[in-house]
Structures are given as C-alpha cells and as structure tokens.
C-alpha cells in the first residue's frame, strides 16, 4: 500500500463532504420548521461513495493482475518460454486513469413522502434533531479516522 496516496484519506474526505452537505440541509430544515409549505430536504451520498469504493477496489485488482511485482516473469522449465505479466487492455488503461472521485456529488432531494401538517410543512423538529445528532457523530468518527491517517503519514515522514 502506498502510504502517501492512501485512498482512505481521499474517501474519508468525500464522506465528510457528504455529511457536511447533509448537516446544511438539516440546518435549513430546522430553520424552516414554521415556514408554511416548506418541504424538508435530505442529502443522499452513501450509494455514490460505495460505488467509488467498488471502482477503486477494481482498479487495485487490475493493477495487481498487471503488476510484475505480484506476477514476476517465470520460465517454463520444459519449454524454456518466459511468461511475463499480462499487458493491460486499452480499456483497462483508460479506466485506471479515470478519477472516479471527481464525480462525487451529494444529491439534495426534497422529501415528498413524509406527511405534512395543516400548513403543508413536513418538517418534524424531533426527527431533524435526531438526524443532526447522527450526522454529527458520523462526522466525528470520520474526522478521527482522517486524523489517524495523517498521523501515520506524519510518523512515516519523520521516520518514527
């Protein structure tokens, strides 16, 4: 694993960005709890993040399949033929160069499925406070993970 370009840091940052967008939506919902006709907003990003992780895993697999480090040249003792690692296809080369993380874009959606009260507002303060608490906790967990990753990189740089 390459310590400096560790994708954990990049993926954690994306998760934190998604949670920050969610927190903004929740704050807007809370601010508009008494606004007639206001429809609560939600932010969806987990499926995008899971897809990015899958794509990055596939990239790692392709790199491993095409790496001389993992598959050194071998000599067939019977024929004398040298078998080397597989050359990636053009499609694989393009896929490996693509930055799937740039496509991350948390989606803000209007919640039309929650019941509305008499003035058409569908914000429930208790629900928003619970969502705010869960979002804050998740953000704190990811920020601690990010801090640990940077600590590992810092220790490696300092030679500790």
pLDDT along the chain (160 residues), means of 10: 67 96 98 95 96 88 68 71 69 77 91 84 95 98 92 84
Q: What is the pLDDT of residue 1?
A: 46
User: What is residue 90's predicted lDDT score, i.e. its pLDDT?
Assistant: 77
Establish if 1 belongs to a structural domain: no
160 belongs to a structural domain: no
Domain of 39, in residue numbers: 7-154
- The pLDDT, as a whole number, for residue 70 is 57
147 within domain boundaries: yes
51 lies in some domain: yes
In a domain, residue 74? The reply is: yes
Query: Into how many domains does the chain fold?
Result: 1
Q: Is 111 helix (H, G, I), strand (E, B) or coil?
A: coil
| Distance, CA of 7 to chain centre | 9
């Amino acid at each position: 694993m390459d310590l400096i370009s560790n994708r954990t840091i990049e993926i954690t940052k994306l998760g934190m960005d998604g949670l920050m967008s969610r927190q903004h939506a929740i704050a807007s919902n809370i601010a508009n709890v008494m606004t007639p006709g206001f429809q609560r907003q939600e932010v969806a990003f987990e499926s995008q993040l899971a897809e990015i992780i899958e794509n990055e895993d596939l990239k790692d697999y392709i790199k491993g399949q095409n790496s001389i480090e993992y598959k050194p040249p071998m000599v067939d003792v019977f024929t004398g033929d040298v078998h080397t690692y597989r050359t990636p296809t053009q499609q694989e080369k393009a896929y490996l160069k693509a930055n799937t993380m740039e496509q991350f874009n948390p989606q803000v959606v209007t919640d039309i499925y929650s019941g509305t009260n008499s003035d058409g507002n569908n914000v429930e303060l208790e629900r928003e406070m619970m969502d705010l608490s869960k979002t804050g906790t998740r953000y704190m967990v990811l920020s601690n993970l990010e801090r640990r990753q940077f600590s590992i990189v810092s220790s490696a740089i300092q030679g500790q």
